[in-house]
């Protein structure tokens, strides 16, 4: 009989993602001018207002209000009719110094003895459903919204688009977990007011999603993913019929409320910790990236067809208190999952400072992670510029999405005799 599995994504203009991007832009600015900054920034956005809060320990100073306005304008909230725009919204900063009780558990005389910034468990997951070793439902959900944003910015088609949007994709599986087809696609996009005739407006948007957006996304996919689409998939577009009021005016946005969108779309597992606004001493973020790096390299090396890694930490303690591996019965080895976990411990140094060094996490690389998922992205090197009214401007070359690099495949193969 098989089964259905669904994942969703939200656009960069979704209110929670606006908050995430502001928090990570603040983090990047702190790290650019002081790589040793300890940062935990939270953002709330609502009609005409941005509230910044959190804890920071740093030797630099930034204009937090200006950072927030730049992010909001970049996303596309630049018109007064949105009831939220980068030039006119109010920005209140309540950022204060990090608690010394937390800091004493992190800083050490020996940098490699740095303790975890908090307790908790973090998960990494990988599978062979896509070339990025990500679940298909989530990857398609992200791709729909990335392309929708590209169409909006292009300004030539679907010119009524506004920044806020959501997507959802349901995949049909056979009983043996193989993908059969794309079953249902849902796209809800904010749009300009067309006037009094809601039915004509909805028909136009649905036609454009079917004839412009979806074909563009399918064209970008490898052949094996294109084959999952047939003419019978179900399409829902703006199911409520109208989506003019959106963004922070339609719903209040908060940092850290889209943690499943940020990771694996409900596949695998999640430890509950959010990422955005946190520097890498917070293992909520750095250990989740490390776990993904491990899972992806193990699957790519052929250890298993699907794999989950859990890392768990105690605040102030460097070594993880537990490492867990689950291959879902899809291991290609004669080893138990516990034995695979033991090998992982030997292969990867999982102390927080070692993770920071290995994945180059003390760089300003985080604003790019804050929309369309932290996992499954393409590693690349970019040059980023940072201006400041207080210090000389910086131009930094940084590597993005280092945890997605397949740089441990040979080491994994050697360790597991593959």
Extents of the domains making up the chain:
3-9+136-243, 120-127+282-416
User: How many angstroms separate the CA atoms of 389 and 94, rounded?
Assistant: 20
The answer on whether 258 is annotated among ligand-binding residues is yes
The answer on whether 29 is annotated among ligand-binding residues is no
The answer on whether 343 is annotated among ligand-binding residues is no
The answer on whether 98 is annotated among ligand-binding residues is yes
Q: CA 266, 267, 268, 273 torsion: positive or negative? A: negative
pLDDT at site 389: 85
φ, ψ of residue 380 in degrees (nearest 5): -160, 160
In angstroms, what CA-CA distances link 343 with 281, 323, 340, 350, 399? 25, 10, 5, 13, 28
pLDDT at site 104: 53
The domain defined by 120-127+282-416 folds into GMP Synthetase; Chain A, domain 3 (3.30.300)
The answer on whether 374 is annotated among ligand-binding residues is no
The answer on whether 226 is annotated among ligand-binding residues is no
Question: What percent of the residues of the chain are helix, what percent strand, and what percent coil, each to the nearest 5?
Answer: 35, 25, 40
The answer on whether 81 is annotated among ligand-binding residues is no
pLDDT at site 100: 58
pLDDT at site 199: 86
The answer on whether 257 is annotated among ligand-binding residues is yes
For residue 253, what are the β-bridge partners?
A: 45
Radius of gyration of the chain (CA): 22
> Given its phi and psi angles, is residue 191 left (phi above 0), alpha (psi -120 to 50 degrees) or beta?
beta
Burial of residue 50 (number of CB atoms within 10 Å: 0-12, 13-18, 19+) = buried
The answer on whether 242 is annotated among ligand-binding residues is yes
The runs of H, that is alpha helices, within 117-272 are 136-154, 198-208, 214-220, 223-226, 247-250, 259-262
Half-sphere exposure of 327 (CA within 13 A, CB side): 19
User: How many angstroms separate the CA atoms of 97 and 38, rounded?
Assistant: 9
User: How many angstroms separate the CA atoms of 375 and 385, rounded?
Assistant: 24
Chain centre to alpha carbon of residue 398: 18
pLDDT (tens, 9 = 90+) of the chain, 418 residues, equals 799 999 999 999 999 999 999 999 999 999 999 999 999 999 999 999 999 999 999 999 999 999 999 999 999 999 999 999 999 999 999 999 876 555 555 655 667 767 787 889 999 999 999 999 999 999 999 999 999 999 999 999 999 999 999 999 999 999 999 999 999 999 999 999 988 888 888 999 999 999 999 999 999 999 999 999 999 999 999 998 889 999 999 999 999 999 999 999 999 999 999 999 999 999 999 999 999 999 999 999 999 999 999 999 999 898 999 999 999 999 999 999 999 999 999 999 999 999 999 999 999 999 999 999 999 999 999 999 999 888 888 999 999 999 999 999 999 999 999 9
Of 200, 171, 239, 218, nearest in space to 8 by CA:
171
Q: CA 286, 292, 296, 297 torsion: positive or negative? A: positive
The runs of H, that is alpha helices, within 209-351 are 214-220, 223-226, 247-250, 259-262, 283-301, 337-347
The answer on whether 243 is annotated among ligand-binding residues is yes
The answer on whether 55 is annotated among ligand-binding residues is yes
The answer on whether 231 is annotated among ligand-binding residues is no
Element holding 41 (H helix, E strand): strand 38-46
Q: How many CB atoms lie within 10 A of CB 51?
A: 17
What global pTM score does this model have? 0.95
The domain defined by 3-9+136-243 folds into GMP Synthetase; Chain A, domain 3 (3.30.300)
User: How many angstroms separate the CA atoms of 223 and 213, rounded?
Assistant: 18
The answer on whether 319 is annotated among ligand-binding residues is no
The answer on whether 164 is annotated among ligand-binding residues is yes
The answer on whether 279 is annotated among ligand-binding residues is no
Contacts of 70 (CB under 8 A, 6+ apart): 25, 86
């Amino acid at each position: 009989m098989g089964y259905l599995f669904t994942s969703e994504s939200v656009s960069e203009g979704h209110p929670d993602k606006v908050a995430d991007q502001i928090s990570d832009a603040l983090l990047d600015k702190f790290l650019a001018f002081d790589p040793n900054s300890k940062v935990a920034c939270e953002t709330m956005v609502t009609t005409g207002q941005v509230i910044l809060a959190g804890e920071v320990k740093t030797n630099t100073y930034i204009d937090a209000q200006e950072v927030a306005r730049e992010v909001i304008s970049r996303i596309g909230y630049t018109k007064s009719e949105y009831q939220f725009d980068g030039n006119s919204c109010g920005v209140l900063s309540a950022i204060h110094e990090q608690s010394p009780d937390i800091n004493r558990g992190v800083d050490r005389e020996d940098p490699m003895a740095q303790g975890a910034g908090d307790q908790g468990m973090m998960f990494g997951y990988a599978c062979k459903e896509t070339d990025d070793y990500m679940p298909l439902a989530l990857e398609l959900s992200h791709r729909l919204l990335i392309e929708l944003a590209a169409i909006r910015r292009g300004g030539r088609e679907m010119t009524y688009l506004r920044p806020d949007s959501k997507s959802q994709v349901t995949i049909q599986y056979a009983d043996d977990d193989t993908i059969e087809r794309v079953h249902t696609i849902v796209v809800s996009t904010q749009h300009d007011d067309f006037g009094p005739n809601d039915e004509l407006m909805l028909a136009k948007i649905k036609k454009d999603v079917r004839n412009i957006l979806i074909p563009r996304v399918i064209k970008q996919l490898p052949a094996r993913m294109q084959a999952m689409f047939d003419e019978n998939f179900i399409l829902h577009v703006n199911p409520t019929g109208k989506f003019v009021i959106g963004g922070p005016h339609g719903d209040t946005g908060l940092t850290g409320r889209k943690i499943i969108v940020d990771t694996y779309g409900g596949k695998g597992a999640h430890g509950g910790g959010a990422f955005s606004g946190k520097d890498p001493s917070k293992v909520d973020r750095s250990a989740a990236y490390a776990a993904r790096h491990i899972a992806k390299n193990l699957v790519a090396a052929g250890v298993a067809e699907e794999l989950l890694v859990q890392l768990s930490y105690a605040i102030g303690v460097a070594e993880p208190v537990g490492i867990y591996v689950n291959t879902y019965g899809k291991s290609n080895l004669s080893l138990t999952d516990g034995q695979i976990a033991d090998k992982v411990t030997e292969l990867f140094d999982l102390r927080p400072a070692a993770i920071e060094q290995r994945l180059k996490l003390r760089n300003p690389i985080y604003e790019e992670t804050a929309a369309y998922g932290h996992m499954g992205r393409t590693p690349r090197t970019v040059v980023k510029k940072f201006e400041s009214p207080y210090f000389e401007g910086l131009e930094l070359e940084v590597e993005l999405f280092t945890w997605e690099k397949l740089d441990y495949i040979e080491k994994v193969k050697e360790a597991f005799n593959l």
